[in-house]
Amino acid sequence: MRPAHASLIAAELQLRTEQVERTMALFAEGATLPFVARYRKEVTGNLDEVQLGAIQERTAYLTELDARRDTVLKEIDSQGKLTPELRKKIETTLSKTELEDLYLPYKPKRRTRATIARDRGLQPLADRILAQAKGEPSRAELGAPFVVGEVADLEAAFAGARDIVAETVADLAPVRAALRTQAVASGTISSSLLSGKEVEGAKFKDYFDWKEPAASVPSHRLLAMRRGEKEGFLRVGLVVDGAAAIDLIRHQVVTDPAASLAGELTAAIVDGYERLLAPSIEIDVRLQMKEKADIEAISVFAENLRNLLLSPPLGGKRVLAVDPGYRTGCKVAVIDEKGDLQEHTVIFPSQSERKVGEAETELVALCKKFRIEALAVGNGTAGRETETFLRRLIKEGKLGDAKVILVNEAGASVYSASEVAREEFPNEDITVRGAVSIGRRLQDPLAELVKIDPKSIGVGQYQHDVHQPTLKKALDGVVESCVNRVGVDLNTASVRLLSYVAGVGETLAKNIVTYRAEHGAFKSRSQLREVPRFGPKAFEQSAGFLRIGDGGNPLDNSSVHPESYDVVERMARDLGVEVAGLVGRGELAKKIELGKYVDERRGLPTLKDIVAELEKPGRDPRAEFEEVGFNPDVTELEHVEEGMVLAGVITNVTQFGAFVDIGVHQDGLVHVSELAHRFVKDPAEVAKVGERVKVRVLKVDRERKRIGLSIKQATAPDPTAARPQLRDETARQQPQSRNQPGRPQKSAPPPAASKEPFFKNPFAAAFGKPDSSKQDKRK
């Protein structure tokens, strides 16, 4: 890493250079982002996770650029072609693309028309064309010396020279950069149907003949077209104005239009563009557009995942979990406060009268035996019917005071068949594992959802079409952030959950669980040092995020890091109490004079965090649990009528709106234009996964199983909002199908008074919530 990088990153992020330098040093020493964000605020100048992540990301980019730069310099120097001017350009570039452009003329190539011409000795003639001099001899006189060997005649000589010039111009970094900029700014992305694919590619029919400005194509639309291309139904291309592109090249290359060989140069430029540059630039620009679309799609996915993982937990309650089904029955699992399986069975509440009676008897016995506090019901097939059955029993006083709560089971089948589930329940089949997962999701969504590949949870948008390593890195970062923000119970956490704790990883997580099994529950954080391979660095990074609820030191159940226990002990002594008498005593914590405890290791930011934790130790940053409150009379799509106002929960947020579960096995779409009483550019501004909302039903298409919803029309406008509602054309576009690529807007926008916003959007739903395990059930 070059020293100047800290200054560069600081300027880009509008931070102080010393902040960036210190942060980079921490990361270089092996510190993790959650640890630095929480426990090194004095070092970084109180930078938050987003800023720290940006520094980390940019540092990685520049480090990779440095490595590639060194390789390029070494290669060009070995050819004896590294001029001082070229070296300066290579050493000062901050772009990988520009670096490759600068390297292109010196990069080993396959045998081309230009290399053949050079082998035939035509480079000097090409140099005369590129020199653009006046007063040159005639073409015949210039070309005559080169008509030898394999060069048959004068025209062959100049044709070969033009091939060299064409390749030389095509390799010029400024030319390539300018053409890329022009293509993005004024080019058009187009798609057309491949011959004979009308029937097979019907789901892409809206892209059979489509064009749209490359500069403004939304990421989900671009990804849809690329998917159609990948599956062999569409031909996708970038259309640019060739004449304008050639003019741009001439402006960059031609210095004297009146030069003797200007005609040869122009011919070479045209050939070079059409044969070499046009296809190359199209590849570059399409890749650039794809990368941008990936970033946007991954950002949407990451934010949805964060909100889902931070869903409010019910907490340590005794839960009877039900994985509903018709023919194969409902799988029932009883789990205790810690999430351990106690008993399981199968009931058939939707079959014969005798089976219903047996189901009642069994449930009553289980609830009484285990003193059940909540009943978790999966929201898949037969979920609402099972919920209705349980609510009836509660109303009749047969299940005590237990609450019935519908739980989103997306991805439950993936967990049930996973290696993680087999390790947790080696003696149980997948149906039991699925029921346990549903119950645990209610107790602690974060602890359970980390066991599932995020792509199976159903909150993404074209997640299988984006760059998978980048997606995985982003999602892993979100999971790590959420896990460390909430904290982890050291004595109950699974290997998977522990592996996301800062500084731990999979190997140490397994060692922790093995140690726990052999020695019993941890009594203190310091005991972690006894875990095999758990060294000082791992302890430093992780200890503050690991909790021990019933240990000897109350600070072990807080986010106060062990390195600061001494300062808390001093605070307690100064207040005349034991540490245990200070923890949780807000009135005492408020008396602490922070200035007395500032030292070389701890400043005011850390001390403020410590006092806040002393006031409310082990505080969970997640909101309080709240039931959705689905309408008990609306359990199937057939029950939904236009005009109804229903309770729901947001299950997915996309770039064109939000999907809402209203309890009928089919999520409805709230288009971006119906999210709020104001113009909304980004749905994430006003909607998040897991949020409880009221919606009005705008339209129901039972045949295609689609529901159009509005949050705006179910809520009163904010009287303080001074800005009138605005509607743009995309806000009037509405979804076609959740399982098909979308239909882009082709012509002039529809009238502003459109009364059916849901069905007027020809593309949106196709890019929304992926198929969840509601349709991926094991019934």
SS (H, E, C) 11-59: HHHCCCHHHHHHHHHHHHCCCCHHHHHHHCHHHHCCCCHHHHHHHHHHH
Instruction: Convert the pLDDT of each residue in 54-98 to its tens digit.
Output: 999 999 999 999 999 999 999 999 999 999 999 999 999 999 999
Domain span including residue 363: 319-443
Task: Give the pLDDT of residue 459.
Answer: 83
Task: Give the pLDDT of residue 718.
Answer: 66
Specify the CATH number for the domain of residue 45. 1.10.10.650
Task: Give the pLDDT of residue 721.
Answer: 52
Q: How many domains does the chain contain in total?
A: 3
Task: Give the pLDDT of residue 18.
Answer: 96
Please report whether residue 491 resides in a domain.
no
Please report whether residue 736 resides in a domain.
yes
Pick out the chain residues at pLDDT < 50. 1, 722-779
Burial of 673 (0-12, 13-18, 19+ CB in 10 A): buried
- Residue ranges of E strands in 556-691: 645-654, 657-661, 668-671
Specify the CATH number for the domain of residue 386. 3.30.420.140
- Among residues 443, 460, 489, which one ends one of the domains? 443
Q: Using CA atoms, how far apart are residues 46 and 765, in angstroms rounded to an integer? A: 41
User: Residues near 514 by Cβ (< 8 Å), separated by ≥ 6?
Assistant: none
Contact 339, 440 (CB under 8 A): yes
- Among residues 424, 443, 462, which one ends one of the domains? 443
Please report whether residue 79 resides in a domain.
yes
Contact 666, 707 (CB under 8 A): yes
Please report whether residue 499 resides in a domain.
no
Please report whether residue 191 resides in a domain.
no
Query: Which position has the token pair 């064109």?
Result: 656
Please report whether residue 600 resides in a domain.
no
- Among residues 443, 458, 481, which one ends one of the domains? 443
Q: How far is CA 505 from CA 497, 498, 557, in A?
A: 10, 7, 21
- Residue ranges of E strands in 641-691: 645-654, 657-661, 668-671
Specify the CATH number for the domain of residue 665. 2.40.50.140
What interhelical angle do 154-170 and 123-131 show, nearest 10? 70
Contact 313, 446 (CB under 8 A): yes
Please report whether residue 52 resides in a domain.
yes
Please report whether residue 259 resides in a domain.
no
